[in-house]
Structure 1
Amino acid sequence: MSTGTHAHVDHSRSAFTGGTTRRAAPWQSPTVRRGAVDVAAVAVLLSLGAIGFGPVFGGHHGHLAALGGVLLGITIGVLAAWRKWSRLGTLLVAMVGYLLLGGALALPSTTIAGFVPTIETVQRLTLLSWQGWRDLLTVALPAGQFDGPAVVPFLSALVTATIATSAVLRLVTLRWVLLVGLAAPSVLLLVGILWGSHSAPLATLQGVLFAAVALVWTSWRSQLGDPRAHAIFGRSARHTRVPRLRQAALAGAALLAASAVVVGSLAWLAPHPDRNVLRDHIVPPLDLREHPSPLTLFRHLSATLEEETLFTVQGLPDGARVRLAAMDVYDGDVYSVSESSAAFSHAGETILPGEFSDEQAAIDRVTFSIENYSGVWLPGGGDLRGVDFTSDGAERLEAGLFHNPATGTALTTAGVEEGTTYAVDLARTPVQDAALGKDLPLDLVPDSSFRIPRSPARVDAVGNTLADFVADAVTPLEQLRQIESTFRQDGFFANGTDEGIPSYAGHTITRIAQLLEGKSKQMIGDDEQYAVAFALMARELDLPARVVMGFYPDKGSDAGNVPVAITGDDAHAWVEVRFEDVGWVTFDPTPPEDQTPEVNTPEPNPRNEPQVLPPPDIPEERDPREPPRAESEVDHKDDAGAVATIVKWVLLGVGVLALLLLPFVLIAWLKMRRRKRRRTAPRPADRISGGWSEVVDLATDLGHDVPPQATRVEAAMTLGDRIPTGSGLTMANRVDSHVFGVPEPTDVEVEAVWTAVDSLRGEFHENASMWQRLRARFSLRSLVAGRRARRQEQAARR
């Protein structure tokens, strides 16, 4: 028994290495040498493709990630071919390698000591496996300054290297070896080009070398690695004594000369080739944090450029205003534009009506010519139905055009400047202007269906003075008119241009508190402060209010078809509040510009409040419904938060583990269902035949090739190196006698056969290692082979 076992091991080793003797070295096998050359050729092709990621990352980041992915993929492919892993096993090993080494090669900032992955590393690698492709196209170059886009070269190199290496080592058909072996590196090369940049100094040399290596390897591989049969390396009849090495050198020199001619021709014919990359066709996603709020420029436009012409407008209806932007979020420093009220979307020459648009409204075509204004925010917003740029750079301006239909805000990331001309198709909306005396019912109901984003900051001065501003007004519209009237009557206008009248720019919490509760007891400011204070009071009343910045000329100016010059003095800010049935109602809380404070004489109390002694300070009492928390309660709350965090991570880990184990569970369930179906077949003969199929499937999962056309006796002889030949032949003969016999097998005979099947399975497991048994349990080979056999049987029947 011992001698037979050793002979079996030596025989397997000899068959694997391809040698004819027991002591044959692996390199002496033609199969091993041919596979080594194939892997080397694939490695060179993949490395040439990985070079293309260098320029887009501006240095070694792209090369490190791509070449690391190539090395890891080749290693996995070689191990998979050597150990005969299944496709699923190879995929799982590649996934594990991606998560283990992806942090060191693509996300070093998330690892420990630059190598050991953390939970953050696994999370980001999982997300960046599909988000990184978009990020690499939208980040500013070089991409190496960002942490995350390097996942693209690492992942693409890992996948293509694993597929190419596995294909050239495991596929048998030459056509498929060459097809997959060349296609996978070509995909990596193509990804490097499409996700790259215009700067590619080695692009021509890279392409020529790729084509040369592919040509030489394909020619050699087509001749099964025999240089004498190759046309280039073949010996001529007249020079039979010329050494093979010399002919190889001559062939290489000829190939290099041809490559030099091609490179020189390309450099002469196309010294500056137009490199087409995807980032030319992808518009980066809009990030409003990159663009400051237009309200921060209000003082500059209205005071510094007070007499400068910002732009000219033609076709503006009488009484209409030129909208610049609507701000709906206040963070304590700036009232800014948010994306949460309605997402910004790409706009063009034609814009469909939005949710809050009137499809039957008349359309006015308004043209703009920019002079001293510059910025990304586009004058002429509102209910837009189209924007047509007519100046130089129109394509660039159109590519970056975004519109928010809910707020009527438009911007172009390219920015407008002097010389920019464009026309907008603007839907005409009725002017609901409470400040100009528009008759509106006092019982209007605020439109609660329109959600204004909640502002994270709150000004205490607004809540302290709101009751004085509202007075005895009851309905929301009455309250807003009362607040507006108080600002216009009791406030003073100053924008910092008059000496001796202090009026600071900005609308921070401190500046708004100074406006409402300043030591001078005077409200002094311009549109910026009054509009923000009014909007904050409206929000305090839980009304959907927003601040709008724009332009409108003096009341006496002509509009219509006459070009109107808009200066900095025409810049204004106002407030809009939305009501049901009427839409947005406009309020102008800013006092008249000629209503300025007196500097030399002390100003009386602007609100004419009676002089009464202030009430004594009463210490603030806690809400009796909220007793003070004990220290233990605070600790319990902190502990609960910690426990919740731990539970969240545990659930996340369990979910990831379940997702990883799902394929294995599915495979085990399919095999269990197949075994049950065979053992409970309607006919006893089919149950006995199914028992032998169970043995063949187990052998197939363990890596033994059983010819599908072989009889049971032949299959038993084939598997004789794994199980005792006598047991296999006895089992095969018994199954044949029951299947082809005249009497129908009894249930006792069926159970005896399945008992023998379980005995044979045990013998298989005894001769296999633990890893082989585990791999066989979750192998797909028998499932795929069974499906292929059923298809062949159906085809034969047809």
Structure 2
Amino acid sequence: MTATTASVRRDGSGATASTPLFDRPSTTTWIDVAVIVGLSLLAVVGFEPAFGHYAFAAAAVGGIVVGGGVALLGRLLRLSVPLTAIIALAAYFLLGTPLALPGLALYGVLPSLDSLSGLVLGAVFGWSDAVTLQAPLEAPPYVAVVPYVGGWLVSFVSLTLAVRWLPRIRKPAVGRAAVLLIGPVLLFVAAILLGTRDPFFAGVRGVAFAGVALVWLAWRRRRFARDHFGMDAAVRRSRLLGGAAVVVGAVVVGALAGTLLAPPAASRFVVRDEVTPPFDPLDYPSPLAGFRKYTKDLQKTKLFTVRGLTEGQVVRLATMDSYDGVVWSVAEPGSDTDASGAFELLGSTIPEPPLFEPGATSTATIDILDYSDVWLPALGYLDRLGFDAYTGTDPAGTVRVNTATGTTAVTSGVKEGLRYTMQATAQKVPNDRQLQKVPPARLTLPSVTNVPDVVSAKAEEYAGSATTAIQKLRNIERSLKNLGFLSHGRASDPVPSRAGQGADRMTDLLTKSPMVGDQEQYASAFALMARRLGYPTRVVMGFAPKVTGDTTTVTGNDVTAWDEVAFDGVGWVPFFPTPTKTDAPKNQTTKPKLEPQPQVRQPPPADPRAEDLLTPVKTKENEKKEQKHAFQLPAWVWVVGGIVAVPLVLALVPLLVITLLKRRRRRKRRSTGPPDRRAAGAWDELTDRYAELGLTLPERATRLQTAAALAEQSRRQDLPLPEDGLDDLARHVDAAVFDGSEVAEERVAEAWSSADATVGAATKAAGPLRARLAAFRYRRRPRARRA
């Protein structure tokens, strides 16, 4: 039913005619609007690596809705462009507070002075801050305005052109319609430039964006031709179906190719690395090279104090995984994300390490006394870091963190008077029995070069006849501790010990008797032998002080070094190969006198046999004979194989990839973390499997509310349910997670068996077609981040 008239006019016959109150766009214009909105949504999804955990979604989508809604409202109400722009600006400030800055709003929705100023600062300065802060971007609060203002501006300008300017064009110029794509393309590029080295479905998004844009431009041209010259409906339908098939095929093939052929993350161009130059550890001396400085010159010097240190806890200083035959050092920047040189800016939230099983969490306050270096002493893998006192400028802007190694650096220097409080989580270390069947992790670490041959020989000798990785590593660790003696090379030590970790020092350590050195040599030798056996190993330097009450003073005599080896799904397991014995026999450490040996004349070299000097010559006749005997497949075999193989690959490769992802998801949920987390993983697996069957999961609901929603949908779709429904399993998991008691393994196994039985029955009852479609679906849950 059309709207009432806004005014009355008379035509030539004297009759009255009404002017419609709303100027309704045509179907073509609505399709243009849908395409621009869809492309804008594809573009803003790219902000996920920068903001993380879809925290930007409300602001980005809200900006698109606010800007596009005002543009459509101005067209429907026949408002002028300047008036529409004023309304859009007012809507930006009025609705921007609850969408982008809800934490600064009054009563959760009303604008405040802080939120209004944040909307201005975010639109002007948020873009520069977004490339100078570490992801995920959470502070300052106005940085959340970046996706909001980007979506708002692009949607308002693009949809204004789509509903006001494009319908007036009467020429089939594709270039004029392409003007509408400028805004979504700029938004797409902005999301890429503000991102990190980890892309968010780059291949799928890029191919989908390009495919939709190209098909829309072609449709616009054909639409004009049909309106002006006419076109058969069957031809139009066939072209539409053909274009849709091309888009779907391009997305599938492009996504697979983009996933398989994507360059490594280290080679990606990241604006934040160019605006703020990455921290280069090679500009500073290797931490391990100064080991003897602590044991000799700073032996009794008070370096810093730690309040909150527990017995047996070590202080991490730096992690090194690059060796050049002279020294162990931190890798160069731009290397793999698992390497020791991948430092990032400090943000409000520090991401969890990529290979890590969390253990105990502790909080400590450290006061720097006579310690001066670029490496910040820490108690494990940082969760939070705050500076309480400092001299000069605030060091927070010069902090660089490597989450993979637990190393923190301050480019402005760690100096006397600095006080900071940190919350850190230690690596959970399983016992050797639990590691018997666990293989080493597959990581790409910097290569070790110029390693002496004696290292390989001793690695095989010390590892012995062990068959598992943990047994070989423990044998090497035990051999070094039993055969070696400890000496820092001080005057008070029973025997001298040469400093260094180069190839010549490693040869002396492993060939001379007795074996004498300190943590610098033994940690280096263990790491080289483990790397020769193919195990990802790194050297860690730090301090191991004795706890003396609430506040512990750390001196140079507390310096130490140890090794860490990565195990698949577990994390980095520490090894301490340094012996504690100091009573090495003195008479065997003296340097023997050189005695001249009689010269022996060497016999002349034997003449090589005549046949060894002959080189077979390849002639054309031999090549023809070889070609006759070579087996070649007929051409029709290749044609038939291509026709059959290509569809099979397009169908089976996605299914294989999704199957592997599901297995990995299930394995991590069932085997990673404490028992209560693994019990909760059973419920997560059940809900994901139901979602893949096509059921809708409520957002922000408890397990009982989710169980009720799934049960209602299952009854409507004739899917079987357990006798007690899903409520019983939901209560079982809630009890395991929240009652505070120790969760037994039997409760975990019971939760998983119940979840598997329920999902299996539902999948079987859904039918073969629906089960096949579910096999091609993968529900990716947001990654949990620690506060």
TM-score (norm 2): 0.38
Higher Cα Rg: structure 1 or 2?
Answer: 1
TM-score by length of 1: 0.38
